[in-house]
Amino acid sequence: MGKATGFLDYERQTGGEISPEKRIENFNDFHEHLPEEQRKIQGARCMDCGVPFCQSGLLIKGMASGCPLNNLIPEWNDMIFHGKMDLALKRLLKTNSFPEFTSRVCPAPCEAACTCGLNDDPVTIKENEWSVIEYGYESGILKANPPEARTGKKIAVIGSGPSGLAAADRLNKRGHSVTVFERHDRVGGLLMYGIPNMKLEKNIVDRKVNIMKEEGVEFLTNKNVGKDVKAEEIMKNYDAVILACGASQPRDIKVPGREAKGIYFAVDFLSGVTKSLLDSNFEDKNYVDVKDKNVLVIGGGDTGNDCVGTSIRLGCKSVVQLEMMPKPPVTRADNNRWPEWPKVLKTDYGQQEAIYKFGSDPRIYETTVTEFIADKNGVLKQVKIAKVERKADKNGFVMAPVAGSEKILDVDVVLIAAGFLGSESYVSKAFKAELNERTNVKTEAGKYSTNVNKLFTAGDMHRGQSLVVWAIREGREAAKEVDKFLMGYTNLN
């Protein structure tokens, strides 16, 4: 360890953010970064503890504790402190296929499990990771490095989200010939159209994809496998197939008035905005325009927050965000001890911007919609909301409306961000893949092979809606299993 007392000598310092007043004027990345010398100091805060929980990747009470990729965090923190960025980059890439993505969009379970964070502020692991990967690009180290030999094996990856890209990257480096099929017009899946541009600028995705292309990965866009591309042809022409199509079946809100015009799923809203931004800087008008409209977001998670931030940038008149669960505590509860994921109140960028723009937090807790109200033309004009309370039922418990708590809100646009139910069934049906009770593609525990010979799966389509970092891990592990299936052994890590 470079500085044994670093965690005592230095305070946590982050790069900061552009103010809400300025950043809501555009869809650009609003994060700022520390200069090199200050970043070295942040690397010195790493304790190099005997048991580095930050890289454990454990599930505790169903929540991630530490990095699911088992990133060698103490090693490259020490190298940052010593200015050995080339070595830091090598150790980072040993476990993580896409630090350029995770250093921007990951919620950093590594920091939540940081030992330094038990009694003080955790190490700035996520920002340190950003500095290492960006050094790799700026220095010219990160460039195409095609495999020296090919195995003659052909692999099809269906879906170009983080799991599909991770699997394709590893298998291509092994020497297999990989073709990625993407139903949209751009490569990236969730990374391209599910995450707003201000969280992950799309040139960052293109930068990595272009390197993969130079290394020999073939990308076919506008290819909707299971509809305009037959599954039988894929299975016939490739030695192995990986389904990595995500968990893109949104959960609906089935209450009276659902057929009203002006109600959209969050994923459709966000993808439409990003596509229009990229295609024409919004000049084509091919998106849900919420300018001067009252917006209601149903759902309190990351996607709901993205809808809030996006709506504000588009010039909404007001925005309200409903959350069925109670308001979290400001600090850890007694039953939520470190190194568990901290279930505490988080005011994310979208809520920060709503507070600046409208003067108050947009979130209303323990509340749900009980009715959508339309005008005579079927256009949404109001919603009825009600408080909810936890009640036991035969399946455990439900959040039931409280009688007499109803209120009416004036609303022009509703964005449903209530999570996802699993994968879209048409792809799995086309490949005759069995599903489990959660509508995810079924495999044995810890495995990625399906009931169909030479058919594998990975990512959210396999595990359900989750983090980008989990999707990358699944893609890497699926690649190992496919490689062993094809070659009889694997040397992929």
- In the structure encoding, which two tokens stand for residue 337, read together? 């001890």
Contact 414/383 with Cβ under 8 angstroms? yes
Q: Are strands 218-220 and 263-265 parallel, antiparallel or unpaired?
A: unpaired
**Hunting for tokens 């159209």 — which residue is that?**
193
pLDDT value, residue 69: 97
Domain ranges of the chain: 6-138, 154-248+421-487, 252-418
pLDDT value, residue 1: 59
- In the structure encoding, which two tokens stand for residue 100, read together? 């350029």
Distance in angstroms (rounded) separating the CA atoms of residues 138 and 39: 16
CATH topology of domain 252-418: FAD/NAD(P)-binding domain (3.50.50)
pTM: 0.96
| CATH number belonging to domain 154-248+421-487 | 3.50.50.60
Phi/psi for 132 (5° steps) reads: -70, -50
pLDDT value, residue 400: 87
Helix (H, G, I), strand (E, B) or coil at 141: coil
pLDDT value, residue 2: 63
Distance in angstroms (rounded) separating the CA atoms of residues 193 and 46: 35
Distance in angstroms (rounded) separating the CA atoms of residues 480 and 457: 12
- In the structure encoding, which two tokens stand for residue 89, read together? 């980059």
Q: Are strands 367-374 and 363-365 parallel, antiparallel or unpaired?
A: unpaired
- In the structure encoding, which two tokens stand for residue 262, read together? 């002006």
| CA max distance for the chain | 71
- In the structure encoding, which two tokens stand for residue 386, read together? 């009600």
Contacts of 148 (CB under 8 A, 6+ apart): 175
pLDDT value, residue 493: 86
Per-residue pLDDT tens, the chain, 493 aa: give them.
568 899 999 999 999 999 999 999 999 999 999 999 999 999 999 987 888 999 999 999 888 899 999 999 999 999 999 999 999 999 999 999 999 999 999 999 999 999 999 889 999 999 999 999 999 999 999 999 999 999 999 999 999 999 999 999 999 999 999 999 999 999 999 999 999 999 999 999 999 999 999 999 999 999 999 999 999 999 999 999 999 999 988 999 999 999 999 999 999 999 999 999 999 999 999 999 999 999 999 999 999 999 999 999 999 999 999 999 999 999 999 999 999 999 999 999 999 999 999 999 999 999 999 999 999 999 999 999 999 998 888 777 888 889 999 999 999 999 999 998 888 899 999 999 999 988 899 999 999 999 999 999 999 999 999 999 999 999 999 999 999 999 999 999 8
pLDDT value, residue 65: 93
CATH class of 6-138: mainly alpha
Residue 82 CA from chain centroid, whole number? 32
pLDDT value, residue 62: 86
Whether the domain at 154-248+421-487 and the domain at 252-418 fall into the same CATH topology: yes
Nearest to 492 by CA among 87, 205, 167, 149: 167
Residue 315 CA from chain centroid, whole number? 25
**Hunting for tokens 């509340």 — which residue is that?**
367
For residue 204, the one-letter residue type is: I
Contact 67/106 with Cβ under 8 angstroms? no
